Amino acid sequence: MGRKVEKSEEEWKRELDAEQYRVLREKGTEAPFTGKHYETRMAGTYVCAGCGKELFVSGDKFDSGCGWPSFARPAGEVEERRDLSQGMVRTEVLCPDCGGHLGHVFEDGPKPTGLRYCINSASLKFRPRE
């Protein structure tokens, strides 16, 4: 299955910083409470740090206390995949356009969605509303 944005690992390594590469391409997780968008409250859009696809909007961001940026829903399409790694059953969230790892979605979010998209800051770039 092809993706809209396909690059070699060498290209990704060149374009992303080390932490972005580790999270997006190697499914890493940033340490909690350390990411640069954990406490971002400005109005705007969060796009994929790998390919620029719009993924989340500030109006859906909420303070979950979990240490990572948390959203009640995605802005549009995201890819979700069952993840059995690390002895847990989780749902991984990926960018549909470049396949980059974003984080996981859990069913303990606020109403009405009941969802918490728990997303690494390193996977996101913030574009403030103009």
The reply to whether 96 sits near Fe ion by the rule CB under 5 A is no
First to last CA, the chain: 36
Q: Which of 47, 51, 93, 118 binds Fe ion (CB under 5 A)?
A: 51
The reply to whether 102 sits near Fe ion by the rule CB under 5 A is no
The reply to whether 100 sits near Fe ion by the rule CB under 5 A is yes
Q: Which of 16, 48, 94, 105 binds Fe ion (CB under 5 A)?
A: 48
> Which residues in 106-117 are b (16+ Cβ under 10 Å) and which e?
beebeeeeebbb
For Fe ion, give the closer residue by CB, 25 or 116. Answer: 25
Catalytic residue chosen out of the listed positions 48, 51, 95, 118: 118
Cβ neighbours for 51, distance < 8 A, ≥ 6 positions apart: 4, 5, 95, 97, 98, 100
Spatial CA neighbour of 94 closest among 33, 126, 48, 36: 48
Is 118 a catalytic site residue?
yes
Q: Count other C-beta atoms under 10 Å from residue 73's C-beta.
A: 16
The reply to whether 50 sits near Fe ion by the rule CB under 5 A is yes
The reply to whether 74 sits near Fe ion by the rule CB under 5 A is no
The reply to whether 16 sits near Fe ion by the rule CB under 5 A is no
If residue 76 lies in a helix (H) or strand (E), which one and from where to where? Answer: none
Q: Enumerate binding residues for Fe ion (CB under 5 A).
A: 48, 50-51, 53, 95, 97-98, 100
Annotated active-site positions, please? Answer: 118
